[in-house]
Structure 1
C-alpha cells in the first residue's frame, strides 16, 4: 500500500464517502418518501469506496467521460473516476466554494467560457484533490469541450489518453463503426492495465446493466402518468446511478426498488404534489448549483418537471446477447446523446422534443441556455421556434450556467420563471 501522505485525493474522497454515509444514516433515522433514496447513496458510496481502495493500493485508475460504456471497466475490474460527475456532486456539497477550482483552471489557461464542470475538473486536478489517474478515456459524445477536457487532464497528469470516436447517428453504418471503437477501447484498456477482458464476465455485467436500463426506461414511461408520480429532482438520482453503478448489484437493486415505488404511486394516482397545475418539459439540464429551483416551481406554481433531456431513455434497443454491440449502442440509450446529437440534426431534435411534449402531456417547455454549451445555446432560438410551432406550448429560455451562479444567480432565474408563469394567465 502506498504512503497515503503522498497520494492525491485521499482525504477528499474519504470526505465524500463520509458524506454519503451520513446521508444514509439520516435516511435510516428519518425515511424519505422513497426508500430507494437510501439505495442511491449506497450505490454511489460503493463506487467511491472502490475508487478509494484502488487509490490506496496503487491500482491503475481510469479518468473517464460520462458516456464511456462503463460495463467494460466493471468486467475488467478497473476503477474509474468520473471527472464531470464528481464536479457536479462536489458543487452540491460545497456550494460557492466550487468557484475556487474554476479560478484555478482559469489561471492554468482555460477560458471562463469553458463548461463549468470541466473547469472544476481541471481545477481539482491541478490542486491534487482527486485520485491521480493512470490513463484517460473519453468519447466523441457529448461535446467538443468534453474531448478537450480529457486531453487537458492527460496533459496535467502526463498520462496516455484514448478517444472512443463514437458516432452521433444510429444507422447501421454508424453502429458498425461504433463496434470497431469498442474493440479498440478494450485493446487500450488491456494494454494499460495488463488485464485481459473475460467475455463471460462481461456478459454477466451486461446482463445486470440491461436490467438497470430496462427499469430506468419503465420509470421514464411512468412519468407520463397524470399526475406525475415523482418530483422534478428525483430523476437526477437515476442518472447518477447509471453512470456510477450500471452493471452492479447495488445499481440493480436501486432501479428495482425505484420502479416498484413509483409504480405503486401511479396505481394509487398519487402525484408528486397535491395539485398538479402545470407539466413542464425541461430541455437540457436543471441548474445544478441550485436544484431547489425545481422545488420552488412545485410549491409556487404547482409545476412539475415531467421530462428532461438528461433523464430520458431513447428508443435505442439494447441487446445483451452481443456484448460488443451492446457497448456500442449503450451511449445512445441516453436521450441527451441520441436526441441532442443524433439523427436529424437540430430539425430532428426539435421534432423529438415536440413528440416528448405530446407523450408526456406537458403544457410548458423550458430550456436552460447553459452559456458555455455551444450546441445548445447556438440552437436555442431554432429549438424554441420549432418546438412552439410543432407542439403548440409556451417555451421559456432561461439563461444561466450549470454550476457557476456568478453567471446568472438562482434568484435571477426565479424572477424570470415567475414572470413567465404570470404570462400564462392560468
Structure 2
C-alpha cells in the first residue's frame, strides 16, 4: 500500500500531546479525567499513524451500527471515518470548514450532513488512513448510509454493509446478530484469518467493565444536585470509538465514575446553586462545548442527561459466540442516535419521557443538527410529548461540527431567552 502523509491527524495528535503535557506528569484531581481521556486518544492516534506508515496491519473503517470489538479480536486496526470530523472542531475548527468546502466544490450539496462533507473533503485530500476494507451499517440516517457509499465508491475497497432492522424486538435482534455474523465472515475473507472467539471474549469483557462504570455513573447523575458537568456526557460515544475493549478506555470511565461517586456522596453539585436540570436530547454543540459551561455558570442549568450517554441495556453475555453476537447486536442497535432515530419516533419520545422522569429534568433542549433530516421530521411529535409531560422545550437548528464563528453567539442568545423567559422567568 502506498504510504501517505496524514498531516491533519499528526496536527491533532500534537494538539492533544501538548494539552496533556501542560497538565504535568501527575495532574491535579480536577484534571485527571481529561488527562486519561487525552492519553487514550493519543495512544489511538499514534497507533493509527504507525499502522498506516508500516502497512503491515489491516485497517478497517467501521461506521455507526458497528462496534469495534470484532475488529480488535481479528487484529484489525479499527478506524471510524468520522473521527477527525469530530476532533477538529475542538482543536482546529477553521481546518474542518476548509475540508467541508473542498467536498462542496467537488459536488456534495451544502444540505448534506457536515460529517459526510468533512469526511469526503478529508478523503479527497488524502488525509485519512487508507482502509483495506469498510464495514458500515444502514443506520442511523440516510446521510451516513450515502456517505459510506461515497467513501467506498471513491476508495474502491471491498465493503460489507450489515442491514439494520427497523424494530427492537427479539426477531430484529436475531436478524442483526446474523448480519454481524456475515460481517465477520467478510472480514475473515479479507484478512485470511479466522475469528478468535476467545480473544473476542476478552475484549468484550473489557468493554463490559467500561459500560458498567457508565451505567453506575448515570445512576449517580440522578442525584440532586447533579454531581458532574454536562460536558462530561459528550465523552462516552467518542471514547467508544477509540478505546472500547481496551484498558485505557476503561480507565477513563472508571475515573469518571469515581469522581461522580465521591461528589454525590458529599452532596456536591457542579454549581453552587442548581436552578435547572436540563435534558439535552439531540447533538451537542461540538463546535463550541463551552456553551455547556456557560449554561451552568449563567443560569445554574446543568445538563443531567443527553441522548449520547443515556444507556439502558445490559452488558454483553460472553458465555458463547452466539451470545456475544446477540449482545453486540443489541449494543450496536442501542448506540446513540441509532437507538432513538433508526425507527419510529416512539423510540425517541419514550426515551425522552423516561429521562425527564428518572433524572428529574425540568426542561428540554433540542439542538437540531442541520444534517439530521430524519429527526427534524419528528419535531412536531416531540413538541406534543413535552406538552404532555409539562416540560418546556427549546428547539433551534445548527451545524454541530462546522458552524461559522457567529453561530455560538446566536445559540447563546436563544438559550438565554429560553431560561430567562420560560424556565426561570
TM-score by length of 2: 0.94
CA RMSD, Structure 1 to Structure 2 (Å): 1.8
- Partner-residue secondary structure (3-state), 1:69: coil
Per-residue CA deviation, residues 7-35 of structure 1 (Å, 9 max, x unaligned), is 22433323232222222212226536151
Cα distance in 2, alignment partners of residues 237 and 347 from structure 1: 26
- Counterparts in 2 of 1:3-402, with a 5 A limit? 7-28=3-24, 31=28, 33-58=30-55, 59-315=57-313, 318-321=316-319, 322-342=323-343, 345-389=344-388, 391-402=389-400
Cα distance in 1, alignment partners of residues 221 and 256 from structure 2: 13
TM-aligned CA deviation for residue 351 of structure 1: 2.7
Check the 8 A contact 2:62/2:80 in 1, yes or no.
yes
Question: What does residue 420 of structure 2 align with?
Answer: 422
In the alignment, structure 2 segments of 5+ residues that lack a partner are none
TM-aligned CA deviation for residue 317 of structure 1: 5.4
- Partner-residue secondary structure (3-state), 1:330: helix
Cα distance in 1, alignment partners of residues 41 and 334 from structure 2: 21
Check the 8 A contact 2:12/2:87 in 1, yes or no.
no
Bigger shift: residues 308-317 or 136-145? 308-317
TM-score by length of 1: 0.94
Check the 8 A contact 2:316/2:324 in 1, yes or no.
no
After TM superposition, what 4+ stretches of structure 1 lie above 6 angstroms from structure 2?
Answer: none
Cα distance in 2, alignment partners of residues 348 and 324 from structure 1: 23
Check the 8 A contact 1:166/1:178 in 2, yes or no.
yes
Number of aligned residues: 419
TM-aligned CA deviation for residue 335 of structure 1: 4.7
Cα distance in 2, alignment partners of residues 266 and 9 from structure 1: 47
TM-aligned CA deviation for residue 41 of structure 1: 1.0
- Partner-residue secondary structure (3-state), 2:130: coil
Check the 8 A contact 2:134/2:157 in 1, yes or no.
yes
TM-aligned CA deviation for residue 348 of structure 1: 4.1
Cα distance in 1, alignment partners of residues 141 and 50 from structure 2: 31
Cα distance in 1, alignment partners of residues 405 and 45 from structure 2: 31
Cα distance in 1, alignment partners of residues 97 and 288 from structure 2: 14
**Cα distance change of structure 1 residues 407 and 376 upon mapping to structure 2, 3 Å threshold:** farther
- Partner-residue secondary structure (3-state), 2:70: helix
Cα distance in 1, alignment partners of residues 338 and 406 from structure 2: 26
TM-aligned CA deviation for residue 195 of structure 1: 2.2
